[in-house]
Structure formats: structure tokens, C-alpha cells
């Protein structure tokens, strides 16, 4: 691949100039999403929703292949249930929406729109579970949740978002821990194998863990602007909720026990991650496996005899597995179409004109590298399939390289604080483990400990932030 496309301005603010504005321009101009009349609530438009459908399809299969089943629990949760687990209510009560009236009547008890479903699900598990023979419970639901947010940005932080939430029960702590880590691993594979987003996995500090969890595990991705995105979390909830909700079972020895409990979730936030990891100043760059349209075919001189027929013939030859759109609209020139589909991030463009047909070839354009080349019509299906895989690998590699460039070792607090201002990224350093020290990092730099990674490196004996004895190697970053 050789020839580069000439530069074209898409009327998108360059990301180097104003990253948040670049993001807003991209999501609105590419029809992923729109603002709604309800502050903080977004409308996910068909092009954005189709990305979510591709994520759902992949994940749902992974969940089912590991024995999970889907179900559906009520949208509204009585206030008394939300209050049963102490940490949980403290964490969520400030950000829930309250239903106080049904029809014309005031309700005897307020109901909150679910911010997450541990409490309502635990109340049902308490009713259902009797014996160890029924365990494990491996259930998941796909739904929307509401968390009243003051500052919102589509996909990244909105007052309503779509997600999946898994909720499982186990006989032993070890099984719950294994489940927690298994689901995090599936999340990591979703990020890397489906979305071409490299992630760091590890444990959250106590300050950053889920309200009511024993331990929270996370995957963290780094965006173009050097800020981290928490892209999925998996919680070992221990027996916190199962005790509060009096979930019990008769164990193998005939004794009454509380089961061990996990929950795990990812949301439409992942779409924000795709945009901010792969996008460029021309707009979206969609990884092939989540792209709603993987190949756009554009006829050149489409009124000439045989051109459109050939395009439809080639589409047929490419088969049903590849998601293809033919843009044969008559109101726009090929050049206009090129730009439109580039902005929308379609991984491959195929151009077919009279001369191409004469030469038994087509022109293939790669969105990620902006390279163009002519290839034979023979074996086009194999060429395209291979190219889609290549683009995936190439995007993942590029993202990994960018992340590594923006990852550095902390030398001292002052240097770290300065870098967080001037060149934010993943900062690696040692941490003492104290909450006071963690609070201080945030107060001074607005960065937070993203995770204590599974892959620990020995970077010294002293905490880089306070000089006390070091306990963990951590990743620190500003975050969405």
C-alpha cells in the first residue's frame, strides 16, 4: 500500500487544539448520538446503537459459553431495600432518581430507578436459594440504569446508560473469586479482541472500589489525550450483601451458610473508549469487529453501463458474513461520499469504476492508514477478510504503542504532578497503601490511583507519593 489520500477537512476541531470539542464534534457529526430534552440523558442513534449491538452479541455469547443465563429484574427499587447494605446506600443514594407518584397517587414508599441492581436481585435470591445443589447462580441482565450526574458527556458519563450486570452466587470464597477474575478476563478479551483497545487489569484501591464490595477489579484503558477510562469492573462482593439480605443455603454438611457473591458490568461507555482510542482528526476510526459497516462500496461513474451491476455482483461474492453497504445515492459525488464514510470510520472502502472493471480490479482504501491500492477482483472475499483482520491487529498495535508512549515511571511527586499537567498519561509508581496518601494525590493533581495491576513491577521500597514504606506498584492517571 502506497498512495496517501490528500488531506480533507471534515469541519472537526483538531484533537490537538481542543480534545473535548473534537470528541463532541465526532459523536454528533457521525450520527452516533444526540442530546435529548432531558438534561444528561442521551439518544443513541442507529449508527451508535449498532456498535452496542455488536458488543452485546460478542459478550452475550461469551457469558453463555461460560454458563450464564439472562433474566430481568424490576426497574424500580424500594428505598428500604437500597438501604439494607450500609456502604452501598451511602455510595448510591446521592445519585438516584426517585419515583414518588404512581398515576395520581403518592406512593407509600419512594422507589428509586435502579442505579445498579444488587439490592433488588439479592432480595429475590434470598427468596429462591435453598441448597448448595442449586449453586452457583450465574445470572446476567442487559438493561438501562440511571445515576443522576451533574456533569455529563455522551457515552462517558450520562444520567442514563445501557449496560449488562452479572450477579452470581457461589458456595465458597474461592469460587466467587475465580468467577470475579474470569469475568474480568472476558472483559479484557472483549476490549482487545473485539475493540482493539489494550487494557491494564488489576485491583482497585479501597477508596475506589464499588460501594459494598470486598474487592473491585478493573480494566483501564488510556485515551488519546492521556486520560484513563475505567472500561469495566468486576466485584467480589464477599458476603456483604448476602448477610445484609439474609441469603442462606444448606451446605454440604447440612449447615446454614451465606453464599459468596459477585457482580460485574460494562456499559455503553465502551463506545466512548472506541472513539477516543482510535479516532483521528478526520473523525471515527472503527475497529472492524464492532463496525456497523465494515466495507462501503462506492461506484465510480455509476451511470456507465455495467458499473452498478458489477458492484452488486461483487457484494454478493463478498458474502453475508461481511457487513457491507453500497452507497449508490445519486445526489452526491464519489469524493463527497469518500469523505462522509471516512468520517464515519468505515474500515474499508472499495471503489469500482469502468477502468477498474476493464482491469478486473478494484481500489481498496484503508481508513486507519489512509492508504489506497488496487487489488484483483479474483479472491476479493479472502483479500477483504484478511485485511479486516490486519486492520484489527494494526489498530491494537497502534493503540498499544500510543499507550506505551504515554506511560512513564514516577521519579518524585513534584515531577509527577507537573507531568500530569503538561503531558498526562499512565504514571507508574510505588504506593504505601494509605488512604491519606491517596487523598493527597487527588487533592494535589486531580489524578487518581487507577489500579494495583496484576503485573506488579518492583520500582523501589518507598512510596513515590509520601516516602513511607511501599506496598504496591500502581498506575495513576487522570480519568474520565
Closest approach of Cβ 81 to a second copy, in Å?
Answer: 6
Closest approach of Cβ 307 to a second copy, in Å?
Answer: 22
Using a 10 angstrom Cβ sphere, with 0-12 exposed, 13-18 middle and 19 or more buried, the burial of residue 201 is: buried
The torsion angle over the Cα atoms of residues 95, 100, 102 and 106, rounded to 10 degrees, is 180
Q: Which residues contact 400 (CB under 8 A, 6 or more apart)?
A: 198
Q: Which residues contact 386 (CB under 8 A, 6 or more apart)?
A: none
Closest approach of Cβ 471 to a second copy, in Å?
Answer: 35
Cβ-based nearer residue to a second copy, 37 or 254? 37
Using a 10 angstrom Cβ sphere, with 0-12 exposed, 13-18 middle and 19 or more buried, the burial of residue 303 is: exposed
Q: Are residues 325 and 297 in contact, defined by beta-carbon separation less than 8 angstroms? A: yes
Distance CA 233, CA 131 (A): 29
Closest approach of Cβ 267 to a second copy, in Å?
Answer: 12
Cβ-based nearer residue to a second copy, 75 or 377? 75
Exposure class string for 143-170: b at 16+ Cβ within 10 A, else e: eebbbeeeebbbbbbbbbbbbbbbbbbb
Closest approach of Cβ 72 to a second copy, in Å?
Answer: 4
Cβ-based nearer residue to a second copy, 159 or 236? 159
Query: Measured on CA atoms in the order 265, 269, 275, 276, is the torsion positive or negative?
Result: negative
Cβ-based nearer residue to a second copy, 134 or 206? 134
The secondary structure of 299-358 as a DSSP string is: ESSTTSTTHHHHHHHHHHHH-SSS-EEE---SSS-HHHHHHHHHHTT-SEEEEE-HHHHH
Q: Which residues contact 417 (CB under 8 A, 6 or more apart)?
A: 444, 445
Closest approach of Cβ 185 to a second copy, in Å?
Answer: 23
Give the number of other CB atoms < 10 A from CB of residue 440: 14
Closest approach of Cβ 67 to a second copy, in Å?
Answer: 11
Cβ-based nearer residue to a second copy, 46 or 379? 46
Cβ-based nearer residue to a second copy, 159 or 383? 159
Cβ-based nearer residue to a second copy, 49 or 365? 49
Q: Are residues 133 and 252 in contact, defined by beta-carbon separation less than 8 angstroms? A: no
Cβ-based nearer residue to a second copy, 97 or 250? 97
Distance CA 153, CA 130 (A): 44
Cβ-based nearer residue to a second copy, 198 or 272? 272
Closest approach of Cβ 372 to a second copy, in Å?
Answer: 29
Closest approach of Cβ 268 to a second copy, in Å?
Answer: 9
Cβ-based nearer residue to a second copy, 19 or 41? 41
Tell me, what DSSP letter sits at residue 93?
A: G
Is omega for the bond preceding 416 within 30 degrees of 0, making it cis? no
Task: Summarize as ranges the residues that interact with a second copy (CB under 8 A).
Answer: 34, 36-38, 41-46, 48-50, 52-53, 69-78, 81, 94-104, 111, 113, 120, 123-124, 127-128, 133, 139, 143-144, 146, 148, 159-160, 162, 331
Tell me which residue has cell 453500497: 326
Q: What is the SS3 assignment for 215?
A: strand
Q: What is the SS3 assignment for 380?
A: helix
Tell me, what DSSP letter sits at residue 258?
A: P
Q: What is the SS3 assignment for 381?
A: helix
Closest approach of Cβ 156 to a second copy, in Å?
Answer: 16
Cβ-based nearer residue to a second copy, 124 or 459? 124
Closest approach of Cβ 265 to a second copy, in Å?
Answer: 17
Q: Which residues contact 451 (CB under 8 A, 6 or more apart)?
A: 200, 201, 202, 203, 204, 218, 220, 474, 475
**H or E stretch at 250:** strand 249-250
Closest approach of Cβ 120 to a second copy, in Å?
Answer: 7
Cβ-based nearer residue to a second copy, 50 or 437? 50
Amino acid at each position: 500500500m502506497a498512495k496517501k489520500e490528500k488531506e480533507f477537512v471534515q469541519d472537526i476541531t483538531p484533537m490537538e487544539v481542543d480534545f473535548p470539542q473534537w470528541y463532541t464534534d465526532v459523536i454528533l457529526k457521525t450520527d452516533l448520538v444526540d442530546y435529548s430534552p432531558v438534561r444528561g440523558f442521551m439518544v443513541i442513534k442507529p449508527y451508535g446503537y449498532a456498535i452496542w449491538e455488536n458488543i452485546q452479541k460478542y459478550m452475550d455469547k461469551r457469558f453463555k459459553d461460560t454458563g450464564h443465563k439472562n433474566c430481568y429484574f424490576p426497574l424500580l427499587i424500594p428505598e428500604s431495600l437500597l438501604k439494607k447494605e450500609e456502604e452501598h446506600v451511602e455510595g448510591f443514594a446521592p445519585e438516584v432518581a426517585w419515583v414518588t407518584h404512581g398515576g395520581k397517587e403518592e406512593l407509600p414508599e419512594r422507589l428509586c430507578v435502579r442505579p445498579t441492581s444488587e439490592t433488588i436481585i439479592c432480595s429475590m435470591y434470598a427468596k429462591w436459594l435453598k441448597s448448595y445443589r442449586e449453586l452457583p447462580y450465574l445470572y446476567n441482565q442487559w438493561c438501562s440504569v440511571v445515576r443522576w450526574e451533574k456533569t455529563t458527556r455522551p457515552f462517558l458519563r450520562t444520567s442514563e446508560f445501557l449496560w449488562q450486570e452479572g450477579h452470581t452466587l457461589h458456595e465458597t470464597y474461592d469460587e466467587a473469586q475465580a468467577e470475579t477474575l474470569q469475568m474480568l478476563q472476558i472483559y479484557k478479551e472483549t476490549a482487545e479482541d473485539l475493540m482493539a483497545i489494550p487494557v491494564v487489569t488489576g485491583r482497585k484501591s479501597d477508596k475506589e472500589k464499588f460501594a459494598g464490595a470486598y474487592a473491585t477489579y478493573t480494566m483501564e484503558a488510556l485515551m488519546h489525550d492521556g486520560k484513563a477510562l475505567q472500561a469495566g469492573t468486576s466485584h467480589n462482593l464477599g458476603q456483604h450483601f448476602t448477610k445484609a439480605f439474609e441469603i442462606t443455603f444448606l451446605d454440604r454438611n447440612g449447615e446454614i451458610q451465606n453464599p459468596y457473591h459477585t457482580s460485574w458490568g460494562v456499559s455503553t461507555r465502551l463506545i466512548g473508549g472506541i472513539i477516543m482510542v482510535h479516532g483521528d482528526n478526520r473523525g471515527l476510526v472503527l475497529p472492524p469487529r464492532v463496525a456497523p459497516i465494515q466495507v462501503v462500496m462506492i461506484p465510480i461513474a455509476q451511470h456507465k453501463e455495467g458499473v452498478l451491476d458489477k458492484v452488486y455482483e461483487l457484494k454478493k461474492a463478498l458474502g453475508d458474513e461481511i457487513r457491507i453497504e453500497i452507497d449508490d445515492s445519486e445526489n452526491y459525488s464519489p469524493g463527497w461520499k469518500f469523505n462522509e464514510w471516512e468520517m464515519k470510520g468505515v474500515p474499508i472502502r472499495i471503489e469500482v469504476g469502468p477502468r477498474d472493471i476493464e482491469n478486473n480490479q478494484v481500489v481498496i482504501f484503508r481508513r486507519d492508514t489512509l492508504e489506497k491500492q488496487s487489488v484483483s477482483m479474483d479472491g476479493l472475499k479472502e483479500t477483504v477478510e484478511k485485511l479486516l483482520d490486519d486492520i484489527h491487529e494494526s489498530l491494537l498495535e497502534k493503540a498499544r504503542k500510543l499507550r506505551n508512549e504515554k506511560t512513564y515511571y514516577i521519579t518524585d511527586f513534584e515531577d509527577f504532578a507537573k507531568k500530569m499537567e503538561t503531558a498526562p498519561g499512565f504514571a507508574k509508581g510505588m504506593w504505601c497503601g494509605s488512604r491519606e496518601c491517596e487523598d493527597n494525590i487527588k487533592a494535589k493533581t486531580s489524578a487518581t490511583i487507577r489500579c494495583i495491576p496484576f503485573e506488579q513491577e518492583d520500582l523501589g521500597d518507598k512510596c513515590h507519593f509520601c516516602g513511607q514504606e511501599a506496598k504496591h506498584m500502581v498506575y495513576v492517571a487522570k480519568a474520565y
